[in-house]
A and B are shown apart, each in its own frame.
Chain A
């Protein structure tokens, strides 16, 4: 009997203990896979979200991140014109975010308003109806939650108000707009009632028209690889602004979610320790039980290297069986854990913490396999140094 067959037979002799070990390794493998997915998934998912519409750079008021504060930039038109003059820039658009109000029956409805430039926007995808034209100051786009909240559909007219004044019990600015389309806002959290108009209309509603204020500018670069260079150029050209490429924003985001990344490293390490202990203990006891058999094999001419290889192979087989089960288990638990974490308030609905990727699966599998083989080193060493004559004599008595 050779190689794999010998290993499988060895494991098959003690089915219960082998099954328990495989189960233990499977749970550890599942945990390891989940944590590998968590540690890389946050970064990948956030980068994908930011690049959903192909815009590489965000410009915000100095010291802030997009929509992190209510701070605004002034002179947006002038800034956009200057940015568009850069030959590496394919498109640049401004966005203003603000609170808006509307009424349904007797209730006041609070909404989130986006002022966008339809010719250069990276915030939504159209689901039904028509997009806004650059000069369409009477049209509005609604998210599905906003449409439900307002009870409005395509073609309906809705009055929106900005800057409510409690003292005079009236809105400072009100405007009747026609629903042109239903859109999915890329960065909205689940159920967020958002509406969008062209930038000047939203600036008027928010009282930000004078000074041409916006929340952020978004820039699309012609070549993906040039994004960092263009960001550096913009940083020099506009020192009063915070310029962040997608990579910069991912770095900031990672810093905020550092807890989850560190937790994933700790739990992944613990999973590996459990795997090492399980495989190491099982194989050590198995080797001790089979010392007589090993000594017999050595006595009939089987080399020490072959015995060591067989023990290492047994560790690898155990790990492979556990890992195969663990990958299935890991993908299932990842979905459950992701459903918990994505219920964070204010988190974009399109965001995921656990992203299954080929490279994360491969990394987890390779690390586990290596761990299994390493855990088998000690029992393999025990088997290799077993004294042949003494062991056979002991077995005979």
Chain B
């Protein structure tokens, strides 16, 4: 818990300028994240009081540093604000001397993290050892769920787009009924008409894909700009990789060509008089 210690600022400053160097040295320093500094209008050198309860803000500390927190997707939605203290200072504040939540161990090169964790676990009582990989796997579960959700939405979107594309291509080709009838009357072969319609459908698919790619980049940029501002973070929310672009373009080209081919096939099978509206 942190509050501004407005009244104490001037007094401490006075002590320092009077040369109370020893007293100043006893005040613990903390590092606070940028968002917290901005929220409470704090800067390096400010004094704040900390405590575990609102009515016991007894520990005076000095803001020694302001840091940019490492972007963490798991934390952004919580909007929690963090500060860092020296371990003995925090243990003293919490009244939990020599107790910690976790211990990090760096292994010598060539030592397997899993083997080391297993050895530590065998002799353990009251703690469990995890390799960094296991922790990463556990903590990424949330994002795996989000990723599965996105994939499911993407499948629905692809199906909807395919139906939409087929429908539009069918309408687009059927608009050419009279043209197709005239061409058939003047002796143009079915195959030629089919090829022309297929080419037209493919061109529309190419143009649509190009426009879609531009739209995707614009939407991605807008998404990143919005959520970076919304969550005050430098995380990237939308990444459009060449693989994604290639998948989208190939899918729309294939679907567009198939839809165009189907519609053109229906058209060339119809008798010219029917196409002309007199059949």
Residue A200 CB within 8 A of the other chain:
no
Q: Across the interface, which residues of B come within 8 angstroms of A239, CB to CB?
A: 54
B75 CB to nearest A CB, Å: 11
User: Contact between B77 and A256 (Cβ–Cβ < 8 Å)?
Assistant: yes
Main DSSP-derived SS at the A contact region: helix
| Given A62-B54, A63-B1, A258:B77 Cβ within 8 A | yes
Residue A333 CB within 8 A of the other chain:
yes
Residue B203 CB within 8 A of the other chain:
no
Q: Across the interface, which residues of A come within 8 angstroms of B157, CB to CB?
A: 31
Contact residue range for chain A? 35 or more
Q: Across the interface, which residues of B come within 8 angstroms of A259, CB to CB?
A: 77, 227
Tell me the complex Cα distance, A256–B171, Å. 45
User: Contact between B141 and A337 (Cβ–Cβ < 8 Å)?
Assistant: no
Residue A303 CB within 8 A of the other chain:
no
User: Contact between B54 and A240 (Cβ–Cβ < 8 Å)?
Assistant: yes
Residue B41 CB within 8 A of the other chain:
no
Residue A71 CB within 8 A of the other chain:
yes
CB within 8 Å: A-B pair count: 93
B59 CB to nearest A CB, Å: 16
- In the complex, the chain A residue whose C-beta lies closest to that of B177 is A289
Residue A125 CB within 8 A of the other chain:
no
Tell me the complex Cα distance, A251–B194, Å. 59
Residue B160 CB within 8 A of the other chain:
yes
Contact with A along B53-76 (1 / 0, CB 8 A): 111000000000000000000000
User: Contact between B79 and A255 (Cβ–Cβ < 8 Å)?
Assistant: yes
Q: Across the interface, which residues of B come within 8 angstroms of A271, CB to CB?
A: 160
User: Contact between B163 and A23 (Cβ–Cβ < 8 Å)?
Assistant: yes
User: Contact between B125 and A169 (Cβ–Cβ < 8 Å)?
Assistant: yes
User: Contact between A165 and B52 (Cβ–Cβ < 8 Å)?
Assistant: no
User: Contact between B125 and A108 (Cβ–Cβ < 8 Å)?
Assistant: yes
Residue B127 CB within 8 A of the other chain:
yes
User: Contact between B145 and A343 (Cβ–Cβ < 8 Å)?
Assistant: yes
| Given A27-B159, A74-B53, A345:B164 Cβ within 8 A | no
Residue B124 CB within 8 A of the other chain:
yes
User: Contact between B163 and A166 (Cβ–Cβ < 8 Å)?
Assistant: no
Residue B156 CB within 8 A of the other chain:
yes
Q: Across the interface, which residues of B come within 8 angstroms of A255, CB to CB?
A: 77, 79
Residue B201 CB within 8 A of the other chain:
no
Partner of A166, one of B53, B126, B164: B126
Q: Across the interface, which residues of A come within 8 angstroms of B230, CB to CB?
A: 258
User: Contact between A24 and B77 (Cβ–Cβ < 8 Å)?
Assistant: no
| Given A108-B125, A166-B126, A343-B145, A24:B164 Cβ within 8 A | yes
Residue A295 CB within 8 A of the other chain:
no
Q: Across the interface, which residues of A come within 8 angstroms of B168, CB to CB?
A: 281
**Binding-face segment, A14-22, A216-224, A356-364:** A14-22
| Given A74-B53, A258-B77, A31:B160 Cβ within 8 A | yes
Contact with A along B106-148 (1 / 0, CB 8 A): 0000000000000000001111000000000000011001001
Q: Across the interface, which residues of A come within 8 angstroms of B152, CB to CB?
A: 336-337, 340
B141-184 interface (Cβ within 8 A of A): 141-142, 145, 148-149, 152-153, 156-157, 159-160, 163-164, 166-168, 170-171, 174-175
B221 CB to nearest A CB, Å: 15
User: Contact between A285 and B124 (Cβ–Cβ < 8 Å)?
Assistant: no
B247-274 interface (Cβ within 8 A of A): 266
Residue A59 CB within 8 A of the other chain:
no
Residue A79 CB within 8 A of the other chain:
no
User: Contact between B160 and A274 (Cβ–Cβ < 8 Å)?
Assistant: yes
Q: Across the interface, which residues of A come within 8 angstroms of B79, CB to CB?
A: 255
Partner of B53, one of A21, A31, A61, A345: A61
| Given A31-B160, A282-B171, A337-B152, A164:B145 Cβ within 8 A | no
- In the complex, the chain B residue whose C-beta lies closest to that of A72 is B52
Tell me the complex Cα distance, A282–B167, Å. 8
Partner of A20, one of B52, B124, B127, B170: B170
| Given A17-B174, A258-B77, A344-B145, A27:B126 Cβ within 8 A | no
- In the complex, the chain A residue whose C-beta lies closest to that of B128 is A110
Q: Across the interface, which residues of B come within 8 angstroms of A240, CB to CB?
A: 53-55
User: Contact between B170 and A24 (Cβ–Cβ < 8 Å)?
Assistant: no
User: Contact between A20 and B167 (Cβ–Cβ < 8 Å)?
Assistant: yes
A353 CB to nearest B CB, Å: 9
Tell me the complex Cα distance, A45–B175, Å. 49
Residue A236 CB within 8 A of the other chain:
no
Tell me the complex Cα distance, A169–B127, Å. 10
Tell me the complex Cα distance, A293–B141, Å. 61
Q: Across the interface, which residues of A come within 8 angstroms of B149, CB to CB?
A: 337, 340-341
User: Contact between A166 and B145 (Cβ–Cβ < 8 Å)?
Assistant: no
Tell me the complex Cα distance, A164–B266, Å. 77
- In the complex, the chain A residue whose C-beta lies closest to that of B159 is A27
User: Contact between B160 and A344 (Cβ–Cβ < 8 Å)?
Assistant: no
Q: Across the interface, which residues of A come within 8 angstroms of B174, CB to CB?
A: 14, 17, 285
Tell me the complex Cα distance, A337–B148, Å. 9
Q: Across the interface, which residues of B come within 8 angstroms of A285, CB to CB?
A: 171, 174-175
Q: Across the interface, which residues of B come within 8 angstroms of A258, CB to CB?
A: 77, 230
A-B contact pairs, 14 of them (CB 8 A): A17-B170, A17-B171, A23-B163, A27-B163, A28-B160, A165-B126, A239-B54, A240-B53, A258-B77, A271-B160, A281-B167, A285-B174, A340-B145, A344-B145
Given contacts A267-B153, A274-B164, A344-B145, 8 further A-B pairs with CB under 8 A are A31-B160, A165-B125, A169-B125, A258-B230, A271-B160, A282-B167, A285-B175, A336-B152
The chain A residues found within 8 Å of chain B, CB to CB, are 14, 16-17, 20-21, 23-24, 27-28, 30-31, 61-63, 71, 74, 108, 164-166, 169-170, 239-240, 255-259, 267, 271, 274, 277-278, 281-282, 285, 333, 336-337, 340-341, 343-345
